Chains A and B, each alone.
Chain A
């Protein structure tokens, strides 16, 4: 009789919403989860830090080169006796803001170029992809420096410079996704129900092309932060605004005497960019169906 015992069957698999599935995949990537927590903390500091720690990062509050922890300054003071803690907290805002804005901008340019090229094909694609290649072969840092040097070192201009030199990857990804998706049957089906080209491009194809673009955008925030640090290290930054790269740049002469003035903002950049990369990696796992193991 016991042979006839019905084995409890597994419940029929219910198709879950793709977003729920993506979150499930993301959670399985432990590094990405830790990075997400770290990144959230950094962003909270960037938003609320200046209210909690209102010391002006440009105020000379103490003697120069007071090491971290001594004299009551948690991270010490720099070569002008300014509070490094204040610089890190206030600088987080600028660094992350520029990172986000520049990434957004390169996504905007890249998606537009890639979508037009991938959708219309033919000469439109040829022209746009040659332009993309032109921007790809430019030495990016040099080109960004030229833009900033020519048009002035304001925050919008720095954002613009970073955006202009880094959209090519997004354009290429968008184009390749469009080339793939435009041949799919639901695009033909939409065409057959009378959809206009603009609608096909941005309402039908683009939402389906988004996952790899989102991943690329996330990674680009990290590289934009690095880029901004590079530019301000070279002095190409708004001198009235504090950012992490600028702190490194202004203290670079004293790297042998007071290495902490350079390593502390360096660590801030390192941790932030690493966290963003790990989150981007987690997004890749979550959004790329090929990487999903069931």
Chain B
């Protein structure tokens, strides 16, 4: 097998808070192959976005830092790369789209200017070449009448259109990796489906690998081949999407899946009752303890869970689960 495009190993990201230093990402490892798409799943505060920002080198200054581990992009170490090198990579090799399309475009420039800007910064295109490429891109993300709308300001566009513009900006330089941080959370359900279709099509055309961050199991099923379930900064379970949905090996993934209706194919199938995962994600103070952090919410909790952090157990079907009772789940 060829070397993966992105290889994250034993990543530990620490945030300095009033209560001291907390590991928001604790010993996270995963790989992303070229053209592959993976999904990070978990509740708010589980460290999904921090992982993304860590890869981009955009952790909050002076508060967040990569404490240990490595992020290898095409064999190049990103966690220690210079700011100058990171700037070259950002937007060009790895780009990112954000949750809030309403606020992630600069209100004082036209969308065309904003797309052209990235092209000019990374590809040394002339002004007119960048502009015509911007129009093409706007057309590629299926904004009707791109020729005219390229002169529109963000406030003249709807949320879905703005997210399309964000995608156009992110894909302008044909990056190898696109990180989408909850790209559809702020959008209508119908628009969500359109954005997923668009991302899937563009992925097929450009071969860009996608890291999708979400808490929506439906989105995962639609977008990703593999998924990583995160809980409290740790990897709870990872593996192929169908396998995990079919047979989760971690009580947390099971909880997440069983609280979403109609993942099953046919209506005639026997339906499970919808459940909730009681409780909330522990506070940052609890992060990093040598125990299973999900224990307080787990129905299968035993003394062992409270005494020692569970190691990752690999299964034959490609799944990995960090649970003492993985076999039993």
Contacts and interface: CB of A to CB of B under 8 A. Distances in A.
Contact of A190 (B56, B106, B153): B106
Interface string A143-187: 000000000000000000000000000000000000000001110
Given A207-B108, A208-B108, A193 B170 contact: yes
Interface stretch (B95-103, B206-214, B234-242, B292-300): B95-103
A196 B84 CA distance: 9
Interface string B108-149: 110000000110011000000000000000000000000000
A194 B88 contact: yes
B103 A184 contact: yes
Nearest to A17: B153
Interface string A193-225: 111100000001001100000000000000000
A196 B99 CA distance: 23
Nearest to A204: B106
A192 B103 contact: no
A50 B22 CA distance: 72
B155 to A, nearest CB: 5
Interface residues of A, number: 20
Given A186-B103, A186-B106, A189-B105, A194 B118 contact: yes
Interface in B61-106: 61-62, 87-92, 95-96, 98-100, 103-106
Question: Helix, strand, loop or mixed for chain A's interface?
Answer: helix
A207 B109 CA distance: 9
Contacts of A194: 87-92, 118, 121-122
B108 A185 contact: no
Contact of A192 (B56, B100, B107, B109): B56
Interface residues of B, number: 32
A196 B87 contact: yes
Contact of A193 (B99, B107, B121, B153): B121
Contacts of A17: 153
Nearest to A191: B58
B15 to A, nearest CB: 16
A192 B106 contact: no
Contacts of B62: 122
B156 interface: yes
Contacts of A207: 106, 108-109
A208 B155 CA distance: 14
A18 interface: yes
Contacts of A191: 58, 90
Nearest to B169: A193
7 contacts: A15-B156, A18-B107, A184-B103, A192-B56, A192-B95, A194-B118, A207-B106
Interface of B: 56, 58, 61-62, 87-92, 95-96, 98-100, 103-109, 117-118, 121-122, 153, 155-156, 166, 169-170
Interface of A: 15, 17-18, 121-122, 184-186, 188-196, 204, 207-208
Given A192-B98, A207-B109, 8 more contacts: A185-B98, A186-B105, A191-B58, A193-B170, A194-B118, A194-B121, A207-B106, A208-B108
